[in-house]
A and B are shown apart, each in its own frame.
Chain A
Amino acid sequence: MRIHATQSASGVQIELSDDGRGIDPEKILAKARTKGLLRGTERPPLKKIYEFLYMPGFSTAETVTDISGRGVGLDVVKQMVDEIDGTIDIESEVGQGTRFTIVLPTNVSIIDSLVVSSSGQFYVVPIQEVAEVIDLRGYSIENQTSRSKTIALRERAVTICPLESFLGDSKTKSQRFPKIGEQTASASAFSNSPAASAGEEGKKSPTPAMIIEIANKKVGFEFEQVIGQQPILIRKLAGYIAGIPGFSGSTVLATGEPAVILSPKVFARQYFNEREVQ
């Protein structure tokens, strides 16, 4: 019995092969005939013959013993593979052995993303959710409260909130476990980090904000730094951290570091809802 798995861009291929007695197509045909699935002398191509094996209750084991004919039916395997749009193939040679080839597609979706930092942590934002990224230094602040400020963006007042205010308590926790949560100067991991060039521009480093637009309403989220633009592979969040509003998935950055994918549109909706209540 041999199990061999390979991974390609489109999926995972698992080959299970043995050097047993193989699957005899004659036996399948005979069984199909006694079950009334085939008429008379009809003889479908080999591939079709093997397909009978995926039918519920179709076993070539003549008698059910403690060992034989007891396994999980191939129909169940086929059903599960079908559910995730995979394929299963059988090759067999009587007296030589059998090989099952299962191809499972990896559910990959790759999106263009903006990698940003907030409180020293990297977050990933899908670019399609961001209307634009502006540098707040180029705008005059019309109005400022402790929680937000208002700028004039092309003659429209836009409120800018800190992205941090949606990201809770991560900072305090990493302080509690300095050895574990130890933060290196993480931005330096990216060579094209804008922090490196910030000095040339003069006194202050950029204060970027992403502008999010929902139903013709705009809000901005100020953050620490634009780290870069990167195509990323979206992964689901594990069950135990799923369900945090605005945390839509996770990914592994080019540096190997895991990061949460944020949905700024969810934060924007939260912001507009809260404002309506007030």
Chain B
Amino acid sequence: MEKETKTGLPEESLNKGGKLQEDQDLNRYLLFTLGGEIYGTPLMAVREVCEFQRVKPIPHTVNSFLGVINIRGEIVGVVDLRVRLNYPPKESKIIAMMVFSTEEGALGAVADTLEGVAKINTQDIDPKPRIDSRVPTKYILGVGKHKNNLVTLIDLREVLEREEVVSLRLREKSLAA
């Protein structure tokens, strides 16, 4: 991975780097897999990739919310993409996770594997693919081609931005109270 993964300020690096840099950054995707399928999410939206650590479960939260972890003193929630994106739960050895900044705080996301960063040019992306996907269409940015593989490009930050973490039953209960 190159320098742009380090910076936490995507807007700034875009402004400084000028048009060419901007194009390159926007064409980069962080690839991950879920149930054997390859997905990509825009690299610029990823805050960081960190080593997987033991997750502390939080009661009264939905099944896709695994719990919280400590990243350099910051308490960060972790979402299981398998559950969130309608894949059957399966044990897998998780090595790393992606971290995104959402409006309500940082959120980590766990996939089956993280594959690295790939450059996919706009002309190699079909923006309106006719595909059957477990992922709701509104989050799909398109289907790109990378080394003879088809990569489903999704906006993970957007997926997490809409995350309802506190279990529905408790929400209803506290509304009724």
Contact = CB atoms under 8 A, between A and B. Distances in A.
B146 to A, nearest CB: 28
A76 interface: no
B152 to A, nearest CB: 24
Interface string B69-83: 110010111001000
A64 interface: no
Given A169-B167, A243-B174, A180 B60 contact: no
Contacts of A176: 63, 89
Given A170-B58, A241-B166, A179 B93 contact: yes
Nearest to A166: B59
B135 interface: no
A122 B57 CA distance: 10
B156 to A, nearest CB: 15
A241 B58 contact: yes
Contacts of A168: 59-60, 167, 170
Contacts of A171: 57
Contacts of B89: 176-177
A240 B105 CA distance: 8
A174 interface: yes
Interface of A is mostly: mixed
B134 interface: no
Contacts of A122: 56
B83 to A, nearest CB: 9
B110 interface: yes
A121 B56 contact: yes
Contacts of B69: 258
Contacts of A177: 66, 80, 89, 91
Interface stretch (A8-16, A44-52, A249-257): A249-257
B57 A170 contact: yes
Contacts of B63: 173, 176
Contacts of A121: 56-57
B104 interface: yes
Nearest to B70: A258
Interface in A160-199: 167-171, 173-174, 176-182, 184
Interface of B: 54-61, 63, 65-70, 73, 75-77, 80, 89, 91-94, 102-107, 110, 163-167, 170, 174
5 contacts: A174-B57, A238-B106, A241-B61, A241-B165, A252-B75
